[in-house]
A = this chain, B = another copy of it.
Amino acid sequence: MKFLSPNAVKAYTKLAQKKYRLDERKFLVEGVHLVEEALNSDWVVEAVIVNERGFVKEVGGLERLNIAQTIGLYECPEKDFRKLTDTVSSQGIVAVVKKKEYSAEQFWKMFSSQAILVAMDDVADPGNVGTILRTCDWFGVSGALLSNDSVELFNPKVLRSTMGAVFHLPVFQDVDLPSMLDFAKTIGFRIIVTVIGAGTALGRYAFPARSIIVLGNEARGISPAVQRLADDSISIPKYGKAESLNVGIACGIIIHAASTQ
């Protein structure tokens, strides 16, 4: 195994910052599970980097990973490796992955006449965005949209919370959500927003064949620009005292209802 050059350490370390992820169109994934998901997906993995001893010790070697000959495999000293990781107790393995980017045309072409999508409108918490995508992945949601004021998809905490979902379903991120939804309506999607109290009770709502379920900001809910585009509003019944539900929980309940109707 080759050692990662000091220049490569420098270049890859920068990917910890959003600015450089934007410029380079690459990002880091960390830990055996996520690296494995990346390797088994159709995303392009540029390099797999392990620390001197940690990885081999903790998870028993690289043999079980599907690392193609064309992928650079590097070792690096612990002190450099630490700059590449976001977690305190790392499993000693990271991968550098190229972003998969879509044109609007490519994105919308992927969906059949029966498709549920989830759109996030200014969802700010990385754990919420990741958990929402993980939930979409469980229920086989066709795709997701992430507004340009939401947290970035390639943020390490988001990636970790997705548990690999990012490699399973198409996510169009950094989008101007109102204009995307406006277009979606012209190709037969209905825009369904989730609100507290005032919408149709979830159990009484029949999801259309092409549905986009929009989830709003944790504190402010759906933005006015998106609200104006909504075809339907739905609400989850409340029987207790809490003022609101966590946005990920609301998402899970709604997607379960939409998938099993």
Contacts and interface: CB of A to CB of B under 8 A. Distances in A.
B259 A237 contact: yes
A241 interface: yes
A61 to B, nearest CB: 22
Given A169-B240, A259-B239, A246 B135 contact: yes
Interface in A148-179: 163-165, 168-169
Contacts of A203: 260
A141 B246 contact: no
Contacts of A137: 240-242
Interface string A239-255: 11111111011111100
Interface string A129-145: 00100111111110000
Nearest to A237: B260
A237 to B, nearest CB: 6
Contact of A239 (B140, B239, B240): B140
A256 interface: yes
A245 B136 CA distance: 10
A251 B249 CA distance: 8
A127 interface: yes
A53 interface: no
26 contacts: A131-B249, A134-B242, A134-B249, A135-B245, A135-B246, A135-B249, A137-B240, A137-B241, A138-B240, A139-B240, A140-B239, A140-B241, A141-B240, A163-B243, A163-B244, A168-B241, A203-B260, A236-B256, A246-B248, A248-B248, A249-B249, A249-B252, A250-B252, A252-B253, A253-B256, A256-B256
Q: Size range of the interface on A?
A: 35 or more
Interface in A217-261: 236-246, 248-253, 256, 259-260
Copies of this protein, total: 2
Contacts of A241: 137-138, 140, 165, 168
Contacts of A249: 131, 134-135, 248-249, 251-252
Contacts of A131: 246, 248-249
A241 B167 CA distance: 10
A137 B239 CA distance: 8
A242 B259 CA distance: 15
A168 to B, nearest CB: 5
A89 to B, nearest CB: 14
B136 A240 contact: yes
Contacts of A240: 136-141, 168-169
